[in-house]
Amino acid sequence: MPLDVNGTTYETDEEGYLANLSDWAPDVATALAGSDGAELEDGHWEVINFLREYYEEYQIAPAVRVLTKAIGKRLGKDKGNSKYLYELFPYGPAKQACKYAGLPKPTGCV
């Protein structure tokens, strides 16, 4: 199912994850979220930006614990927990946040 953003069409997989990581841009993230009926606010962008930085370095999304720790350091301890992340991304921070960040979906027993 292709994703249309300002006249450009992007290829996605069956679940709406971007087929080509290099297609990602902030307005693509907004459109990916929009197709799920979600709106991205500052809190979401903090997570999305961290995921992209981590992926750039390690070629994989960070573990949930790595993510909560990093968000806690950046936004304060009260936000460094899975509860906060699930409030932002109710379908699961690993899967939903990766989708908007343009990263592949984590696979395996997760």
Partner 1 sequence: MASLEFEIPELFKNIQTPAINPGVMEGSGPFVAKPDHQEPLGFPGELVENWERKAVDAMGEAVDNSRALRVFLDSCVKCGACTDKCHYYLGSSDPKNMPVARQDLFRSVYRKYHTPAGKFLSKLGLEWLIGGQEMNKSVLDDWYNYYHQCSECRRCSVYCPYGIDTAEITMAARDIMAKIGVGQKYSNEIIGKVYKIGNNLGLPEPALRNTLEGLEEDIEDETGVVVRLPLDEKGADILLVTPSADFFAEPHVDGLIGYAKVFHEAGVSWTISSKASEAANFGLFIGNNENMRKIALRIREAAIDLGVKRIIFGECGHAWRVAYSYLNTLAGPFDFLDPAYPVPQHICEFTHDLIQGGKLNLDPSENDWMTLTFHDSCNVARASRMGDIPGGQFSIPRDIIKSVCNNFVDMAPETIHEATFCCGGGGGLLTDDLIEVRVKGAMPRMTALRNVIEEDGVTHMAAICAICKSQFSKVLPVYGMGMDMIVSVHQLVSSALILTGQDTESVPESD
Catalytic residues: 109
- The DSSP letter of residue 97 is I
CB atoms inside a 10 Å sphere around CB 94: 20
Question: What is the residue type of 25?
Answer: A
- Which of residues 7 and 60 has its CB atom nearest to partner 1 in the complex? 60
Q: How far is the CB of 66 from partner 1 (least distance, A)?
A: 6
Positions touching partner 1 (CB under 8 A) are: 14-16, 36, 57-60, 62-66, 69, 82, 91-92, 94-96, 99, 104, 106-110
Q: How far is the CB of 37 from partner 1 (least distance, A)?
A: 9
21 neighbors 27 (Cβ within 8 angstroms): no
- Which of residues 19 and 27 has its CB atom nearest to partner 1 in the complex? 19
Write out the two tokens for 51.
């995921």
Residue whose pair of structure tokens reads 């979600």 in the numeric block? 38
